[in-house]
Amino acid sequence: MDNPMLLKSTTRHIRIFAAEMDSYELIPSNQVLTLDIDPDNEFNWSEDALQKVYRQFDQLVEASSGEDLTDYNLRRIGSDLEHYLRSLLQKGEISYNLSSRVTNYSMGLPQVAVVENQ
């Protein structure tokens, strides 16, 4: 296909594009997927947590290799990554960024440690 259509999956915290980045421009591609994690900076990230998301993304892409590149397949990967982010938040590996322009707690209310009186 000489002129591929831009396929994408957009969830609240994950954006996947069937495209390459070239000088801040997306160029549609049937061979390359570009991942944008937490574009609104709703979470605080460590390098380790980001690398976990990238590894999970690579595993999901590898698991779907051989399948056609479709909107549905990209949405499935995006949804699976969104669930993975929720698990990182629940484990305390990422946290809400309280300085974010919007704090809507889209993945659930923050956990607050309760200290019992002794």
Average pLDDT estimate for 95-113: 74
Look at residues 88, 20, 19, 79 and name the one whose alpha carbon lies nearest to residue 53.
88
Is the Cα torsion angle 38, 39, 45, 49 positive or negative in sign?
A: positive
Find residue 43's DSSP bridge partners.
96
Query: What pLDDT is attached to residue 44?
Result: 93
Residue 1 scores a pLDDT above 50 = no
- Whole-angstrom distance, CA of residue 105 vs CA of residue 8: 24
CB 4 within 8 A of CB 27: no
Burial pattern 30-56, b for ≥16 Cβ within 10 A else e, equals: eeebebebbeeebbebeeebeebbeeb
Average pLDDT estimate for 14-30: 90
Is this prediction's pTM over 0.85? no
Residue 111 scores a pLDDT above 80 = no
